[in-house]
């Protein structure tokens, strides 16, 4: 049998730097086959060279701008052509922007890159995830969303202003998207429970990475104020890898974690009616891709 069917396969978005690159490395070192997705050509090339140089590495990098639904769909189609099974999907990629950007497809870029891309990628790879679940013990196949405690700063999804046309700030847009991450993970857990697929979300902490480089001035100042509490990408990725690989997280679904510990998300993030509504709305927004 080929490695495409014998090795476990993980998809890691945002694998060109930071937490994603650290997570991809950790999985490769555990003997996994890993497909990474990244946006920046230079960082993608550097990450691919580094990760492919690891002993017994089986790593492929796909370059795609996940703020674009068409590029997200292209990446998903390419992954689907590379094998019949996906055992783990780490929806780690995201971004924050210093100004309001509307993508060519009409979406606010923070919401598109942090939420809609994860939703579409998960949706398009569901046949491969279900196929992996059918050959595995219940709970072995995992989908993990990287969110943030910033979600608690958002009172709810802006149903009537998803593009944040009124009073945009980069920090508020980020918190809005991070709330969407947890609601998506929660609804995904409910919908996939009968298939034995586990869905969790996690907060990585304040990470020493290039994450804040595109923030507006207030958010950059806030991130700078937390610098003494920052952790390395490898430390932040520890919980992500634990959620992907360890036995314990496979026994439950729909959780929210930090440093391998369950956290209570905000009341807005526990709103099951909002989670259902967001799913239905997201289906409409990604229709055709």
Residue 167: pLDDT above 70? yes
Write out pLDDT tens, residues 221-251. 555 555 556 689 999 999 999 999 999 999 9
Q: What would the mean pLDDT of 165-171 be, rounded to a whole number?
A: 93
3 state SS for the chain: CCHHHHCCEEEEECCCCHHHHHHHHHHHHCCCEEEEEECCHHHHHHHHHHHHCCCCCCEEEEECCCCCHHHHHHHHHHHHCCCCCCCEEEECCCCCCCCCCECCCCCEHHHHHHHHHHHHHHHHCHHHHHHHHHCCCCCCEEEEEECCHHHHHCCCCCCCCCCCCCCCCHHHHHHHHHHHHHHHHHHHHHHHHHHCEEEEEECCCCECCCHHHHCCHHHHHHHHHCHHHCECHHHHHHHHHHHHHCCHHHHCCCCEEECCEECCCCHHHHCHHHHHHHHHHHHHHHCCC
Q: What is the mean pLDDT of the chain?
A: 92
Q: What is the CA radius of gyration of the chain?
A: 17
Domain locations in the chain as residue ranges:
3-282
pLDDT at 251: 97
pLDDT at 212: 55
Q: What would the mean pLDDT of 20-28 be, rounded to a whole number?
A: 97
Write out pLDDT tens, residues 246-262. 999 999 999 999 999 99
Least Cα distance to 16 among 66, 56, 77 occurs for: 66
Which pLDDT band, with edges at 50, 70 and 90, does 210 fall under?
A: low
pLDDT at 262: 96
Least Cα distance to 144 among 244, 215, 48 occurs for: 244
Residue 207: pLDDT above 60? no
Q: Is 174 a catalytic residue?
A: yes
Q: Which of 174, 256, 257, 289 is catalytic?
A: 174
Percent of the chain at pLDDT exceeding 90: 86
What is the pTM assigned to this prediction?
A: 0.92
Q: What would the mean pLDDT of 141-152 be, rounded to a whole number?
A: 96
CATH code matching the domain that covers 3-282, chosen among 3.40.1000.10, 3.40.50.720, 3.40.50.1100, 3.20.20.70:
3.40.50.720
Q: Are 75 and 124 in contact (CB under 8 A)?
A: no
Which pLDDT band, with edges at 50, 70 and 90, does 185 fall under?
A: very high
Residue 98: pLDDT above 50? yes
pLDDT at 94: 87
Lowest model confidence (mean pLDDT) among 35-44, 76-85, 201-210, 272-281: 201-210
Which pLDDT band, with edges at 50, 70 and 90, does 1 fall under?
A: very low
Which pLDDT band, with edges at 50, 70 and 90, does 173 fall under?
A: very high
H-type helices in 18-153, by residue range? 18-29, 41-52, 69-80, 109-111, 117-124, 126-134
pLDDT at 65: 97
Give the three-class secondary structure for 17.
coil
């Amino acid at each position: 049998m080929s490695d495409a069917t014998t090795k476990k396969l993980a998809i890691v978005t945002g694998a060109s730097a930071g937490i994603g690159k650290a997570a991809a490395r950790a999985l490769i070192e555990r003997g996994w086959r890993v497909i990474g997705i990244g946006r920046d050509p230079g960082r993608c090339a550097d990450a691919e060279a580094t990760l492919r140089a690891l002993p017994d590495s089986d790593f492929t990098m796909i370059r795609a701008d996940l703020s674009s639904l068409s590029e997200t769909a292209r990446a998903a189609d390419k992954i689907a052509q590379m094998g019949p099974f996906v055992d783990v999907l780490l929806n780690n990629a995201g971004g924050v922007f210093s100004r309001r950007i509307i993508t060519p497809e009409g979406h606010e870029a923070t919401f598109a890159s942090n939420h809609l891309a994860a939703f579409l990628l998960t949706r398009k790879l569901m046949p491969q995830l279900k196929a992996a679940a059918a050959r595995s013990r219940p709970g072995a196949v995992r989908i993990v969303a990287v969110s943030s405690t910033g979600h608690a700063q958002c009172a709810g999804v802006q149903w009537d202003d998803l593009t944040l046309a009124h009073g945009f700030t980069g920090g508020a847009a980020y918190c809005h998207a991070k709330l969407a991450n947890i609601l998506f993970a929660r609804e995904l857990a409910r919908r996939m429970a009968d298939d034995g697929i586990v869905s969790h979300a996690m907060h990585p902490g304040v990470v020493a990475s290039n994450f804040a480089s595109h923030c507006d001035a207030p958010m950059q100042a806030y991130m700078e104020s937390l610098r003494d509490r920052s952790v390395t990408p490898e430390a932040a990725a520890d919980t992500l890898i634990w959620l992907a690989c360890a036995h314990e997280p496979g026994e439950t679904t729909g959780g929210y974690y930090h440093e391998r510990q369950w956290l209570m998300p905000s009341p807005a993030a526990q709103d099951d009616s909002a989670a259902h509504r967001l799913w239905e709305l997201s289906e409409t927004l990604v229709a055709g891709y």
